[in-house]
Structure 1
């Protein structure tokens, strides 16, 4: 499970960092074909994109840490049998 989360983390962090530095490009990623002229984003939309990318990176880091702790925590010993 830890390997899966780490591999999945790579595109998540790349997209979040990209949307932090290029919010307009990331907002129209894979949907630019729908517009003849690309609409302009307001300052509030750009701020929300940046804030959401930071929040996503923080939450994803917490998930990775929780999965890593769970992966490296030893299992409790089995109870002795009652026979």
Structure 2
């Protein structure tokens, strides 16, 4: 029996199908006053390590995370996250 995979885990070396639009994230976070990585992570209620994983495309967001981050930044989900084939 195989263990359940975690969100964003699609096999060894697989690239997640949804990526954070890093430039959009950074620009909006800075407009909202978050200028450090810690402040940006706190803005979307995560930690720096998790934010780094999204930036480096190591993990993909759950639908809940994608929607929550977009809402907190005042963006549409499609503006913040990019679906890749």
| TM-score bucket (shorter structure) | under 0.3
Structure (1 or 2) with the greater strand fraction: 2
Length-normalised TM-score, structure 1: 0.23
* Higher Cα radius of gyration: 1
Length-normalised TM-score, structure 2: 0.23
